[in-house]
Amino acid sequence: MPPQSLQYGTDVPPAGYGGWIPTSPAIIDDFIEKHIRLAADKMSKVPDYSLSPCVEAFQQAIKNDPVMLDLFGQMILQAKTLGSKIESFDQLVFIIDNIVASPPGFHSTTKEDPQPIGVPLYIILDLLSNTAAGYDLFRKPEFNTAMKALLDCWGRYLTSPASNRTLTNTEGGWFSETALILLQSEGRGVFNDTYVCPDPKAVNRGYTSWDAFFTRDVQPHARPIGGPPQNSVMTNACESKVFRIAYDVQEHDLFWLKFQKYSLYDMLNRDELCGYFVGGTVYQAFLSPQDYHRWHAPVDGVVKKVVLVPGTYYAALPDDGAPVNDPELEHHDPRGALIRSQPWLTMNATRMLFFIEADDPNIGLMCFIAVGMVEVSTCEKMVKEGDRLHRGDQLGMFHFGGSTHTLIFQQKAGVRFKTYDDKGQEVDVEVGMHLKVNQMVGYAAGGTQ
């Protein structure tokens, strides 16, 4: 068995947090303080100012449940010890009211260049999630039902023409000079040459809403199918950064706060097909808000089953903060616990399972899991049971933010994780690599790892 690409006790991607958290603490603090000021202004105008109906419904769902309301109070107190500036549940509700009335954009200070806030609600809830009370609250089905209704409401706004107001070339817009550098970084390619733009000459490239921009399609020539034309080859299902590769994964595994192991039974939602993958391999990679968010078939084969699994939105495993080798955050910085919890999220967050019977007998049955995280828990499928797939065919897409995904292979596949570099040389796939969709990620050699 080859060594694990990332040991179980080290759950931070070497390349950082993929744009989920701004690299500048000053940007984060200023963004939160801005929304605290806006919330205070709105609260001072009550009863002349009223919450939006969706936010008010969320507020009432929490207040009508004494257990959830008590957990909110405990969570806010516990998060204060981590540096949170949230003072009360009512203040938080008014902050949420402002956030869900706007599309994601960039934020800057007088001393800092703009940085993207692709998942703004997560930035507000980040420290709250890294508490014992937050762990209890954010896993409650009643909380997630209320949160889903709120996020669905925000999602309807993000599909409306009113949401395209950050698709500009001014500071803070997604087509500003700063934003385009980010959108084209890590080899993603020139925007207009890479993505399908309804109106390439328009400032907003013709995208009529934030969601239309976020779920933009890629031009076929920009993401060709990688690797030799063999059934044993596997290609990248999502444009993403490699987070972890784990071998000899078990059906049931215990979860320790820092030593997160994959538990197939939970990942696959207790599905009867779980047994096929015992002793197999899990490949996990995560998408940043600036990545392409559609999913492509990683193998040739037939769709055997598609399952949508409701789950959590903001739950994370509380930890002691960033590890000593964290590339972006100071040691013990409590932010980013949810990003460090990605293996755990494959068993708890909202996700969609695609079981695919590959044409290559060494691969056989495999599973692709699209895992929604925070604002991005809307998973839309484009295929159904019985559909024939070719590598690179679209499977579906994420809406509204960043996310993670896994590929699960049987032990018999004997997966070798390989790709090709810019010079056409075959190299090992390593944690921290940013790989394009349809790029070769490995092949089935047959036998055990």
Condensed to tens digits (0 to 9), the pLDDT of residues 359-398 reads 999 999 999 999 988 886 688 999 999 999 999 999 999 9
One domain, residues 158 and 76: yes
- Band of pLDDT at residue 10, cut at 50, 70 and 90: very low
314 with 434, same domain?
Answer: yes
Distance of alpha carbon 360 from alpha carbon 119, whole angstroms: 39
Determine the 3-state secondary structure of 318 from DSSP: coil
Residue 20 counted as domain residue: no
* Residue 170 is assigned to a structural domain of this protein: no
Residue that finishes a domain, picked among 164, 181, 210: 164
- Return the amino acid letter for 47: P
Does pLDDT of 448 surpass 70? Answer: no
Provide the pLDDT confidence category of residue 206 given band limits of 50, 70 and 90: very high
Using one digit for the tens of pLDDT, what is the confidence trace for 182-198? Answer: 999 999 999 999 999 99
pLDDT digits (tens, 9 = 90+) for 32-86: 999 999 999 999 999 889 999 999 999 999 999 999 999 999 999 999 999 999 9
pLDDT over 90 at 87, yes or no: yes
Residue 151 sits in the same domain as residue 240? no
Is 1 domain-assigned?
A: no
What digits encode the pLDDT tens for the residues 255-284? 444 457 788 999 999 999 999 999 999 999
Q: Residue 378: helix, strand or coil by DSSP?
A: strand
Same structural domain for residues 262 and 374? yes
Q: Are strands 378-381 and 388-389 parallel, antiparallel or unpaired?
A: unpaired
pLDDT at 218 over 60: yes
Domain-embedded: residue 185: no
pLDDT at 197: 98
220 CB burial (10 A radius; 0-12, 13-18, 19+): exposed
Whether the per-residue pLDDT at 437 is higher than 60: the answer is yes
Q: Which residues contact 267 (CB under 8 A, 6 or more apart)?
A: 282, 346, 347, 369, 406, 408
Pick 121 or 110 by higher pLDDT: 121
Q: Is the pLDDT of residue 7 over 70?
A: no
Mean pLDDT of 7-28: 66
Q: Is the peptide bond before 47 cis (omega within 30 degrees of 0)?
A: yes
243 to 15, 53, 183, 291: CA distances (angstroms): 9, 39, 20, 15
Residues 32 and 117 in one domain: yes
Three-state secondary structure call for residue 363: coil
pLDDT, position 326: 85
What mean pLDDT is predicted for residues 407-435?
94
Note down the domain range covering 120: 25-164
Q: Does one domain contain both 360 and 255?
A: yes
Lowest mean pLDDT among 4-13, 222-231, 291-300: 4-13
Residues 6+ apart with CB under 8 A from 172: 105, 106, 107, 108, 114, 166
Task: Please report which confidence band the pLDDT of residue 419 belongs to, taking 50, 70 and 90 as the band edges.
Answer: very high
In the block, tokens 């399952």 appear at 307
* Residues 235 and 156 occupy one common structural domain: no
Output the pLDDT for position 449: 55
**Structure tokens given for 267:** 């990942």
Do the beta carbons of residue 379 and residue 293 sit within 8 Å? no
- Asked, for residue 5, whether it belongs to a domain, the answer is no
pLDDT at 6 over 80: no
250 DSSP 8-state letter: B
Residue 292 one-letter amino acid: Y
Asked if residue 154 and residue 79 are part of one domain, the reply reads: yes
Q: 15 pLDDT band (50/70/90 cuts)?
A: very low
- Higher pLDDT residue, 12 or 85? 85
* Residue pLDDT, tens place only, 392-417: 999 999 987 668 999 999 999 999 99
d(CA 285, CA 140): 27
Number of domains in the chain: 2
Q: In the predicted model, what is the mean pLDDT of residues 315-331?
A: 89
148, 164, 180 - which closes a domain: 164
Tokens representing 142 are 């009643």
Tell which phi-psi region holds residue 98, choosing left (phi > 0), alpha (psi between -120 and 50) or beta. alpha
- The answer to whether residue 137 is domain-embedded is yes
228 shares its domain with 105: no
Cβ distance 184 to 190 under 8 Å? Answer: yes
What is each CA distance from 217 to 4, 292, 324, 390, in whole angstroms? 34, 8, 39, 18
- 271 shares a domain with 139: no
Average pLDDT, the chain: 91
The pLDDT, as a whole number, for residue 254 is: 56
First to last CA, the chain: 5
Same domain, 429 and 351: yes
What is the arithmetic mean of pLDDT over 222-234? 94
